[in-house]
Structure 1
Amino acid sequence: MKIWYQSYVDYEHGASYWDELRKHLDAIVDPGTQIDIKGITPHDSYAHAIVEFRCAREVICNAVKAEREGYDAFIIGHFQDAGLYEARSVVDIPVLGMGEASMLHACQLGQRTGIVTINRRYIPWFHHQIGKYGLKERVTGVHAMDFEPGQILAAFGSDERLETVRALFEAQAKPLVAEGVDVLIPGGGIPMLLFSQLQAHRVDGAPVINGIPIVVKLAEMAVKLRRLTGLGVSRTSDYVKPPLEIIEEFMAHPKGL
């Protein structure tokens, strides 16, 4: 099978991250799975919902491109899942979001989950996600460190900077665990990959999830189930598929307008 892995960073702005991500993906995919990383040129100096909105439009277009180029599944490798529902509505191949996949898997590891994101400006976005996924009783807390997206990229390749990020993460995670959270999620693909270097990572007994292998394995499973049974998303509500001419109009419209 062939999977499109959509990063919200491009190689020019995140070469060390992409190199580590490539190695990580190669180590976790099943034999016979080809996974291609595709990027978006980010505004990586500022975390904000409007940046997510701009990236979401590119993601939706890229999901259509992926299907047309013969990919079997599309992964949004970005915890905020911007464009996830809309992408599912325009293609028939499975579309998986890292945030949704991580939160749903966390429900199998403990009763209450907490998220530690890289910047407090993401906190409202995460609460919207939690509500949309129907998980308000299961994902009960969101705390934040104090990084911009581009800053945390600098931690790759440095044990000292990894330790700094780990300590900042744990400083926000410990109060969540003290309040009853029993599973922890780093709120982003970049910190997830950074912490993948920490085997069996826990904070005061609470496991820290790496959502990258989770979303990849769910994508592989979704492709296999589709081949076996024809299983796909519902077309009755959120994922009603628009007519082809509407999709073409969206694809043809100038970016950013």
Structure 2
Amino acid sequence: MRIWYQSYVDYEHGKTYWDRLRLHLKDIVDEGTTVDIHGITPHDNYAHAIVEFRCAREVICNAVRAEREGYDAFVIGHFQDAGLYEARSVVDIPVVALGEASMLYAAQLGQRTGIVTINTRFIPWFHHQIGKYGLKERVTGVHAMQFEPGQILRAYESEDLAREVEALFEAQAKPLVASGCDVLIPGGGIPMLLFSALKNHAVDGAPVINGIPIVVKMAEMAVKLRRLTGLGASRTSDFIKPPPEIIEEFLANPKGL
């Protein structure tokens, strides 16, 4: 099984993160599964919807590329899931995403989930995601630290900054738990991987999810189910597949012109 793991960070700006992610993914996957990390240049270095929009277009194109290159699944390793529905609509291989997978799995661990994102500008985006996934009664709180994506990457180079991020996360998580959230999600692959060394990570009894193994295992399961039963995404609503010439037109116009 071959999985394309789409990061929104490029290797140039996130070398230590990529190197650690590769080791983490190697420990996660089943025997016989390989995961190849691919980045985006310029990478997602500022928390804003327009940056997500730019990255989403490249993600959609990369999903098509992954399918054509023989990959069995496409993983969006970015919590904001930008481009998820569109990518799912243009390829037949499974497309799974970090944010959606983490939230859906959290619903099996508790009744109310809280998210701590890295920047307040992501909060509206997260609420849009929660609504789109039909989880407004299950994901009930979103708090934020105050980092740009590029800034928090520095925690991979500094033990002191890593501990600072952990403390800031806990400070934002405690009020969520106090308000009734019984599961916590770090809102991003960068903090998830940073916290991955913390076994049985919890804040005031509420487990803290690492969504990276969740999304990868969901990808492996989706591939296995597709092989066993042919199960794939619905083509009757959100994921209606456009005609081939429309996909080709999209791919041929990288600036959307």
Report the counterpart of residue 54 of structure 1 in structure 2: 54
Report the counterpart of residue 93 of structure 1 in structure 2: 93
| Count of aligned pairs | 257
Report the counterpart of residue 124 of structure 1 in structure 2: 124
Q: Distance in 2 between matches of 1:163 and 1:240?
A: 45
For residue 72 of structure 1, what is the amino acid of its counterpart?
D
Where does 1:5-84 land on structure 2 (aligned, <5 Å)? Answer: 5-84=5-84
- Point out 4+ residue stretches in structure 1 off by more than 3 angstroms: 42-45
Task: Kindly indicate whether the alpha-carbon contact (under 8 Å) linking 1:44 and 1:148 is maintained by their aligned counterparts in 2.
Answer: no
Report the counterpart of residue 145 of structure 1 in structure 2: 145
For residue 89 of structure 2, what is the amino acid of its counterpart?
S
Partner secondary structure for residue 111 of structure 2? coil
For residue 192 of structure 2, what is the amino acid of its counterpart?
M
Task: Kindly indicate whether the alpha-carbon contact (under 8 Å) linking 2:8 and 2:44 is maintained by their aligned counterparts in 1.
Answer: no
Q: Tell me the C-alpha RMSD between the 2 structures.
A: 0.9
Partner secondary structure for residue 156 of structure 2? coil
Q: CA deviation at 1:197?
A: 1.4
Change (3 A) 1:218 1:50: same
Where does 1:99-114 land on structure 2 (aligned, <5 Å)? Answer: 99-114=99-114
TM-score normalized by structure 1? Answer: 0.98
Task: Kindly indicate whether the alpha-carbon contact (under 8 Å) linking 2:106 and 2:113 is maintained by their aligned counterparts in 1.
Answer: yes
Report the counterpart of residue 2 of structure 2 in structure 1: 2
Q: CA deviation at 1:160?
A: 1.6
Q: CA deviation at 1:153?
A: 0.3
- Please give the per-residue CA displacement for 1:55-74, whole angstroms capped at 9, x wherever unaligned: 00000000000000000000
Q: CA deviation at 1:255?
A: 3.2
- Please give the per-residue CA displacement for 1:63-120, whole angstroms capped at 9, x wherever unaligned: 0000000000000000000000000000000000100000000000000000000000
Partner secondary structure for residue 59 of structure 1? helix
Change (3 A) 1:223 1:44: closer
Deviation larger for 149-158 or 137-146: 149-158
Q: Distance in 2 between matches of 1:162 and 1:149?
A: 14
Where does 1:99-248 land on structure 2 (aligned, <5 Å)? Answer: 99-248=99-248
TM-score normalized by structure 2? Answer: 0.98
Change (3 A) 1:68 1:45: closer
Partner secondary structure for residue 50 of structure 1? helix
Q: Distance in 1 between matches of 2:198 and 2:256?
A: 39
Q: Distance in 2 between matches of 1:49 and 1:197?
A: 30
Change (3 A) 1:231 1:207: same
Q: Distance in 2 between matches of 1:198 and 1:107?
A: 21
For residue 80 of structure 1, what is the amino acid of its counterpart?
Q
What fraction of aligned residue pairs are identical, expressed as a percent? 82
- Please give the per-residue CA displacement for 1:21-42, whole angstroms capped at 9, x wherever unaligned: 0000001000000100000014
Partner secondary structure for residue 75 of structure 2? strand
